[in-house]
Amino acid sequence: MNTFFIVGVQRSGTTLLSVMLGKHPDILMEKRSIVFRIITCFKNLYDLLPFNIQHPKDEFLQWLIENDKQGRLADLIDLDAIAEHRNIRSLIQHSIDKKLKQHNKQLWGDKSPNLQHYLNDLTLLMPDTKIIHIIRDGRANAYSMSRRSYQHLSLSAQYWVDGNIEGFVNQQILGEDRYKIIYYEQLLQNPEAEMKLVCQFLNLPYSSEMLALADELTSSDKSYVKNFFDTQKINTWKQALTKNQIKQVEAIQRPLLEKLNYALVNPVKYQPLSLTRRILYNQMDNFKQLFRSKRIGMKNREKVLLRISLKNRLKIFIKTIVSDFFSRPIFKTLFSQLFYTQKYFRK
């Protein structure tokens, strides 16, 4: 095993953990998530191969990688070695081994929030990888998601439950030696102890360099991750949310909050979001996003103001409507051109 992934619900501390692990002298962390490009590209074979079955396998595979829409995959996969490998798993592993050797590192890592929902796809392509799943207090996470991602508070609370339950199930499937769960609050309060456990999980010696956040960041006001362990962020939600909002979130999250030993503020009755409310809140957010051309995002681990074109906003708007109301076959039939701009291999 020489690969690992950092996963978790968005706004749970995945970036902080990736910055810390990226400072380990034996780890090569990808600056931008690439695993979803790996999964998407090779899963596209199911849809595109019927249109290109007559072409030589190696040539078609090279074309597919080179035409990956974000271009990240071609930077990782060793195109010259395609013919040498009998399967895609072997090609991916060879490409990572080659990149590690070039950088004189032992482990290759990738930070991809929400990857826990795609365990089957990941392990099909990279069966021996390890996964670190980070969890944050659900109320803090829901508040952060609603504020930063402009998402309905109740929907954010439900997504926290869905994403972390997925992690618990994944851990039961893979086992604790392959799937480790850690907690954001413990990472902030006792980073040395937590990182020693993470290093033990990855079979690496502990390095104190991982705690030197200040070296990573240039200006704390622009940095996505602060240059110190800000424990005040742990309880910000208590002042930011109203009493009714806290009740609203805790009603959705109660069983999992209790399971994770997060103290409840209110003795509320457990009431998860119904499918009707999920769709309603999601479409309300979708409509609002159609008219929001700017949002705060991350680029090179710095907070930046992202401008979203009307064309892209319309694509997201249509995709969100269809994903809520149509089955996968109907979705693929109606909107395949949004994802497959080129179906046919051309030399």
Q: In what order do the strands lie in the sheet with 3-7?
A: 27-29, 107-111, 3-7, 130-135, 179-183
Residue 106, helix vs strand vs coil: coil
Q: Which amino acid is located at 127 in the chain?
A: P
Q: For the chain, give the mean pLDDT.
A: 89
How far apart, in whole angstroms, are the C-alpha atoms of residue 72 and residue 261? Answer: 40
pLDDT tens track for 178-216: 999 999 999 999 999 999 999 999 999 999 999 988 655
Q: How many CB atoms lie within 10 A of CB 135?
A: 24
pLDDT tens track for 21-33: 999 999 999 988 9
Radius of gyration, alpha carbons of the chain: 21
Stretch 237-258: mean pLDDT, rounded?
96
Considering only residues 195 and 299, tell me which one the structure prediction assigns the higher pLDDT.
195
pLDDT reading at 300 higher than 70: no
Q: Confidence band (pLDDT; 50, 70, 90) for 316? A: confident
Q: Among 104-113, 126-135, 234-243, 319-328, which stretch is predicted with the lowest mean pLDDT?
A: 319-328
pLDDT reading at 173 higher than 90: yes
Note the helical H segments in the chain: 14-22, 35-52, 57-66, 72-76, 88-103, 119-125, 138-148, 153-174, 184-189, 191-201, 236-240, 243-259, 275-290, 310-325, 328-335
pLDDT reading at 269 higher than 60: yes
pLDDT tens track for 67-113: 887 788 988 999 999 999 989 999 999 999 999 999 999 999 999 99
How far apart, in whole angstroms, are the C-alpha atoms of residue 49 and residue 55? Answer: 9
Nearest to 236 by CA among 128, 120, 146, 338: 146
pLDDT tens track for 25-61: 999 999 889 999 999 999 989 888 888 899 899 999 9
